[in-house]
Amino acid sequence: MKQILFIVCLGVNLVVSAAEPELKGTVTEVRQHLAAAERMVAVSGDAEVKSPADRAIVTLRLISVSKSLQEALKANQTLRSKLVNTLKERGIPADRIDAGRFSSTPRHGIFSDKVKSYRVENQVKVAVLEEKELQETVRMLDELEGLEYGGMEFEHSKKQELKRKALAEALESASARKKVYEERLALILTPVKFSENVTAAPPARMPGLASFSSLDGREAEPVTGFGEMVFSAQVTVQYSVSGR
């Protein structure tokens, strides 16, 4: 039993030793390294910057089905032309309408490999800059048969600038905490390395179809703005610690 216990302990020691980093250098250098490792502190900071989204990308799916692939493609092209022309008439320029690419799917019979029909789909993305354009775009769902709502994404023209602002404020938050530690504990903290994480979240209030159209028979609800995007930043700064 003692022999088995000895073997188990030896195995544990080997695993622990393998997990530890290898240290090289003189005895003095190793001592300095261990001392520095023991005198490290991590200080975190976080911040949020909010700003209303100024652009929304609406995705519309154009779907046509026919026994002939050629007829299905032709019907889809006709539907796309109607959509693009109508949106242009309502003030949305062509350079903000991305027609995308076609995709086709053959439909087979239940008990046969013979193609029964073809389904052609094309996704069109429309960039809108204000509520009126958004309402005009979603109205097309009522007006054109074969059109489906594919979703909505929000963007901000100053996205990178707002991310940098959030990061700067997070660093200021970490620096403020570092200053408190130095003053209250009589320490000197020297930055060694840091890590960061900056994200952009869509508005918490996502406009739905009921806000823009009367598909359910109710009167359309008023919508004010696209909602606020939230730019969040988290930083962690590692400092070496020394006394005053």
> So what's the pLDDT on residue 100?
79
> So what's the pLDDT on residue 211?
47
Separation CA 226–CA 206 (nearest Å)? 8
Structure confidence by residue, pLDDT tens digits, 73-126? 999 999 999 999 999 999 999 999 998 777 877 666 655 567 778 899 999 999
Find all residues with CB under 8 Å of 145, minimum gap 6, and list them.
none
Q: What are the structural domain ranges in the chain? A: 37-51+159-243, 55-155
> So what's the pLDDT on residue 133?
92
Q: Region 128-153: what's the mean pLDDT?
A: 92
Separation CA 104–CA 203 (nearest Å)? 34
pTM greater than the 0.75 cutoff: no
Q: Region 6-15: what's the mean pLDDT?
A: 37
Please provide the average confidence, as pLDDT, over all residues in the chain. Answer: 79
Statement: residue 26 has pLDDT above 70: no
Statement: residue 200 has pLDDT above 90: yes
Q: Region 129-138: what's the mean pLDDT?
A: 91
Four-way CATH pick for 37-51+159-243: 3.40.140.10, 3.30.110.170, 3.30.720.110, 3.40.225.10: 3.30.110.170
> So what's the pLDDT on residue 116?
79
DSSP state of 111: T
Per-residue pLDDT band for 14 (boundaries 50, 70, 90) equals: very low
Separation CA 244–CA 230 (nearest Å)? 41
Find all residues with CB under 8 Å of 173, minimum gap 6, and list them.
45, 46, 47
Q: Region 20-42: what's the mean pLDDT?
A: 59
Separation CA 211–CA 192 (nearest Å)? 51
Angle between helices 69-89 and 131-143 (to 10 degrees): 140
Report the relative pairing of strands 228-243 and 187-201 from DSSP bridges: antiparallel
Per-residue pLDDT band for 2 (boundaries 50, 70, 90) equals: very low
Q: Cβ-count burial of 58 within 10 angstroms (0-12 exposed, 13-18 middle, 19+ buried)? A: buried
Statement: residue 16 has pLDDT above 80: no
Q: Strand, helix or coil at 51? A: strand
Cα-flanking dihedrals φ and ψ of residue 90, to 5°? Answer: -95, 15
Separation CA 42–CA 238 (nearest Å)? 4
Looking at domain 55-155, does it have CATH number 3.30.70.2970?
Answer: yes
DSSP state of 225: S
> So what's the pLDDT on residue 65?
92
Q: Strand, helix or coil at 168? A: helix
- Find, among 170, 178, 175, 168, the residue nearest to 40 by Cα: 178
Contact 156, 51 (CB under 8 A): yes
* Chain-centre distance for alpha carbon 78: 34
Structure confidence by residue, pLDDT tens digits, 169-196? 999 999 999 999 899 988 899 999 999 9
